[in-house]
């Protein structure tokens, strides 16, 4: 069992800079929580406070209901894997991995078993007798993972543990860590600035910006229902399109008008913006919610646009295109068998159930 609760947690560094602004967060037992956000948003600072490696300025941290504010890192039953792996240079890989267990006086047989198991899983069995300086960055990172895994702590804290791996190994390690999570039944807080990693690994995601939490929820909730333009722009790849727009009303029919086009809103959408008529707002739609018009009859919930293709980027199973409608331009993803050529005219269909509208003021909150 390990729940983690963070209450009004604040970090003011000695130079006066407030990195974390009174954040609140509850992590359930055995949850895989991912902290994500742009560089400098205070992911590492937050994680280090949970680990006990950084002082708390105010607020509290509870592990399993027990306040750990004044508990030393080694007494928190936590294993942390950093981006910089901090291996002991004079020890072999095997000694590095087993060091924590030896210190805790585990029986030799048990240590052997755990090291063998971890090194097998991490693909470093052949490296056990080497010293860290004889390893590549990615190999060192895996040794650091191994050192954490063998301890079987209640809580794992990972700070960008895959950043030095190549793309293929990264994807492989991603699923290894997920499997590991199931097997170890541990609670995990995993820090990354990579939204794909966050989406694929997290049972829930905490998206941070400048020391504030923007949204907490399962990956698809952040993807489908971002609370603000920032969340909408951060989650999803390629990123959501944003265009300036206004809401217009004509005889009880509501629509959104951008520089170049006007799209009718559905009743449930109109209901949410009927007091926003004429205000400058931001219209958002994801590239994957736009497609090339087929000749068949289209559904009435879809919006139609004409534009000219500026850029064509084949990705493999699909094709990314940049389309200009005059003053506005946006990206779309079309099926790889759709015939698209640069500088050609194209008719597009927008899935109007998937459009978003954001305020321009303040936190740029989502209206829907
Ligand atoms: N010792 C320090 N003194 C003052 N400010 C600091 C200190 N350490 C970090 N900061 C600042 O606190 C903020 C958060 O830093 P932190 O390392 O937690 O960010 P991060 O989200 O982990 O970023 P990255 O993705 O680049 O690792 C940054 O603006 C950073 O400059
Ligand atoms: Mg960091």
- Which tens digit of pLDDT belongs to each residue from 54-76? 999 999 999 999 999 999 998 89
User: Within this chain, do residues 223 and 275 fall inside the same structural domain, yes or no?
Assistant: no
Distance CA 119, CA 146 (A): 7
Q: Are residues 11 and 84 in the same domain?
A: yes
Shared domain check, 38 and 90: yes
Tell whether 239 is covered by a domain.
no
- Three-class HEC string of 61-76: EEECCEECCCCCHHHC
CATH assignment of the domain containing 175:
3.40.50.300
Is the residue at 249 inside a domain?
no
Contacts of 17 (CB under 8 A, 6+ apart): none
**Ligand (nearest to CA of 82):** 2
Q: Does any domain span residue 308?
A: yes
- Regarding the beta carbon of 39 and ligand 1, being less than 6 Å apart is answered yes
CATH number, domain at 313? 2.40.50.140
Give pLDDT tens digits for 40-49.
999 999 999 9
Output the pLDDT for position 321: 96
Pocket lining: 45 vs ligand 1, CB cutoff 6 Å: yes
Residue 276 lies in a domain: yes
Comparing CA positions, the residue from 331, 294, 334, 342 lying closest to residue 317 is 334
Co-location of 199 and 343 in the same domain = no
216 and 325 both lie in a single domain: no
Q: Is residue 293 part of a domain?
A: yes
Segment 306-316, tens digit of pLDDT:
899 999 999 88
Average pLDDT over residues 94-120: 94
Per-residue pLDDT tens for 223-271?
Answer: 999 999 999 999 999 999 999 999 999 998 999 999 998 999 999 999 9
Would residue 367 count as lying in a domain? Answer: no
In a shared domain, residues 208 and 63: yes
Confidence label for 171 from pLDDT (cuts 50, 70 and 90): confident
Instruction: Tell me the average pLDDT across 167-175.
Output: 84
Residues 6+ apart with CB under 8 A from 340: 292, 309, 312, 319, 321, 334, 346
The predicted model gives 92-101 an average pLDDT of: 95
Residues sharing a CB contact under 8 Å with residue 341, sequence separation 6 or more, in sequence order: 309, 312
Clarify whether residues 270 and 169 are in a common domain. no
pTM for the full predicted model: 0.91
In a domain, 8, yes or no: yes
Report the separation in Å between the CA atom of 17 and the middle of ligand 1, taken as the mean of its atom positions: 10
Taking the CA of 159 as reference, the closest ligand is 2
CA of residue 136 to ligand 1 center, whole Å: 27
Q: How confident is the model at residue 287 (pLDDT cuts 50, 70, 90)?
A: very high
**Number of structural domains found in the chain:** 2
- By DSSP bridging, strand 281-285 and strand 241-250 are antiparallel
Residue having the nearest C-alpha atom to atom 14 of ligand 1: 42
Single residue among 204, 234, 264 that ends a domain in this structure: 234
Same-domain pairing of 217 and 312 = no
Per-residue pLDDT band for 179 (boundaries 50, 70, 90) equals confident
Which of 203, 234, 265 is the endpoint of a domain? Answer: 234
* Residue having the nearest C-alpha atom to atom 31 of ligand 1: 40
Q: Are 216 and 265 part of one and the same domain?
A: no
Atom of ligand 1 nearest to the CA of 193: 25
195, 103: one domain: yes
Same domain as 322, residue 189 = no
Both 164 and 59 in a single domain? yes
Our answer on whether the CB atom of 15 is closer than 6 Å to any ligand 1 atom is yes
pLDDT at residue 122 in the model? 85
If you take atom 1 of ligand 1, which residue's CA is the nearest one?
Answer: 13
Domain containing 115 equals: 4-234
44 CB within 6 A, ligand 1: yes
């Amino acid at each position: 069992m390990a729940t983690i609760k963070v209450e009004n947690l604040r970090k003011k560094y000695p130079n006066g800079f407030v990195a974390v602004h009174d954040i609140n967060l509850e992590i359930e037992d055995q949850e895989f929580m991912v902290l994500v956000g742009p560089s400098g948003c205070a992911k590492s600072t937050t994680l280090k406070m949970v680990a006990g490696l950084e002082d708390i300025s105010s607020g509290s941290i509870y592990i399993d209901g027990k306040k750990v504010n004044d508990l030393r890192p080694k007494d928190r039953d936590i294993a942390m894997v950093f981006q910089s792996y901090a291996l002991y240079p004079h020890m072999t890989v095997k000694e590095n991995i087993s060091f924590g267990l030896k210190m805790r006086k585990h029986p030799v047989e048990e240590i052997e078993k755990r090291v063998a198991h971890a090194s097998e899983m991490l693909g470093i069995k052949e490296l056990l007798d080497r010293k860290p300086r004889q390893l590549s960055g990615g190999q060192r990172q895996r040794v650091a993972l191994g050192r954490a895994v063998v301890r079987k702590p209640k809580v794992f804290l990972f700070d960008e543990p895959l950043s030095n791996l190549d793309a293929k190994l990264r994807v492989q390690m991603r699923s290894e860590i997920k499997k590991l999570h199931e097997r170890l039944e541990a609670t995990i807080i995993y820090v990354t600035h990579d939204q794909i990693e966050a989406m694929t690994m997290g049972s829930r995601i905490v998206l941070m910006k400048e020391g504030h939490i923007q949204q907490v929820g399962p990956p698809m909730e952040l993807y489908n229902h971002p609370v603000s333009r920032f969340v909408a722009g951060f989650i999803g790849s390629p990123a959501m399109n944003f265009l300036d727009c206004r809401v217009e009303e004509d005889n009880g029919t509501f629509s959104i008008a951008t520089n170049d086009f006007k799209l009718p809103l559905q009743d449930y959408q109109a209901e949410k913006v009927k007091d926003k008529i004429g205000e400058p707002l931001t219209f958002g739609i994801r590239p994957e919610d736009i497609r090339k018009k087929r000749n068949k009859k289209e559904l009435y919930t879809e919006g139609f646009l004409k534009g000219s293709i500026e850029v064509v980027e084949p990705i493999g199973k699909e094709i990314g295109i940049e389309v200009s409608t005059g003053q506005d331009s946006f990206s779309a993803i079309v099926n790889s068998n759709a015939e698209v050529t640069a500088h050609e005219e194209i008719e597009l269909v927008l899935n109007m159930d998937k459009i978003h509208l954001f305020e321009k003021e303040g936190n740029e909150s989502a209206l829907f």
